[in-house]
């Protein structure tokens, strides 16, 4: 489904078509074995909390685990986002931003840290540079995410 035709807003109960959108995102990504193990840990933490945005995060990451092909750590890298990658992205074609994608769950890594255990980070992990994807929001709606590139930014 083209991003411009995403259903807006999505019912907060997260209807069936929300899963299809997340599945389609996951199929086009690639994960390293290390990232896959880290996603399983993030899902367990989100499930333990079990409320609000953590439920949505667990669902998004679960879709990544189910549908994203996994590659050996030494066979992945640019153009795919892995944990620790520096990347540049834009949301809804607004001003580009840069940051480091992190698996660590410590609250403050600095201004440019993007935790994988957030809806933004969970969407970015495994994406290919230059690709666009739906970015799930806490209210169940979607915005448009563009992964501009990897590396210095």
Q: Which CATH number is 97's domain given?
A: 3.10.50.30
User: What is the average per-residue pLDDT within 28-48?
Assistant: 92
Provide the whole-model pTM. 0.83
Higher pLDDT, 2 or 130: 130
Which helix (H) or strand (E) segment is 19 a member of? helix 16-27
Domain annotation covers residue 6: no
Residue 116, judged by CB atoms within 10 A of its CB (0-12, 13-18, 19+), counts as buried
Domain annotation covers residue 91: yes
Q: Taking a C-beta distance cutoff of 8 angstroms, is the pair 142, 6 a contact?
A: yes
- Specify the DSSP class assigned to residue 14: -
Dihedral sign (CA 18, 19, 24, 30):
positive
> Can you read off the two tokens belonging to residue 133?
């994807």
- pLDDT value of position 108: 60
Domain annotation covers residue 26: yes
- pLDDT value of position 97: 95
Domain residue limits at 27:
11-150
How many structural domains does the chain have?
1
Give the confidence band of 6 by pLDDT, cuts at 50, 70, 90.
very low
- pLDDT value of position 75: 80
What does the chain come to in residues? 153
Domain annotation covers residue 90: yes
Domain annotation covers residue 30: yes
Domain annotation covers residue 1: no
Domain annotation covers residue 114: yes
Domain annotation covers residue 4: no
């Amino acid at each position: 489904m083209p991003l411009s035709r995403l259903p807006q807003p999505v019912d907060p109960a997260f209807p069936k078509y929300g899963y299809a959108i997340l599945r389609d995102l996951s199929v086009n990504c690639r994960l390293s074995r290390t990232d896959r193990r880290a996603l399983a840990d993030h899902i367990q933490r989100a499930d333990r909390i079990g409320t609000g945005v953590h439920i949505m995060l667990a669902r998004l990451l679960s879709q990544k685990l189910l549908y994203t092909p996994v590659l050996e750590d030494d066979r992945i890298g640019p153009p795919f986002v892995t944990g620790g990658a520096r990347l540049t992205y834009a949301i809804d074609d607004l001003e580009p931003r840069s940051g480091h994608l992190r698996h660590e769950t410590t609250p403050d890594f600095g201004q440019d840290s993007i935790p994988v255990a957030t809806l933004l980070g969970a969407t970015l992990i495994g994406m290919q540079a230059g690709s666009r994807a739906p970015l799930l929001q806490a209210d169940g709606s979607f915005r448009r995410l563009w992964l501009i590139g990897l590396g210095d930014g």
